[in-house]
Chain A
């Protein structure tokens, strides 16, 4: 059974700082997703990574995928308060997505 682990689970960072969220998974998969969730809201798709070495960037967020290491990273550059949310990675496995536990990000001014 596929296991997806995220770390850290909670991240408090200062505005303007950089940090990386890690997502490890236990079984081969070539497709990985990053979602953002605001409190009480649905899941907003951030990135879809479809192949080894894929790198995607949107604003202050950049995601990458290393399928050989079974590792994806979500890098935050010069954090701003608006990025405060919970971030989930999800790995495609058969007909479903298997989610990590989520990383609660709090950006302090």
Chain B
């Protein structure tokens, strides 16, 4: 099974500052033939279902603000919030769908400093 890890359990960032979340998979999630990484990012706020932010590592879901960006390939990925807003307080999960069983990272809780 592919194990997905995230570099930190929690992160406290000042409003307007940058938040960076790192994600690592235990093996590459790159589909070589399609040249696409089977990696997604979800935002999860308390009391709500999770919200997809990015899929194929860097394709932005409709409606996601452009202060969110995603990059990476192979085994290492990064989600960046360039200017943190109060409504961005949530837990962020990376998620690999390269091979069954699909697996989520443990989550990174983003809070306001």
Partners in one complex: no
Query: Residues of A at under 8 Å CB distance from B?
Result: none
Query: Residues of B at under 8 Å CB distance from A?
Result: none
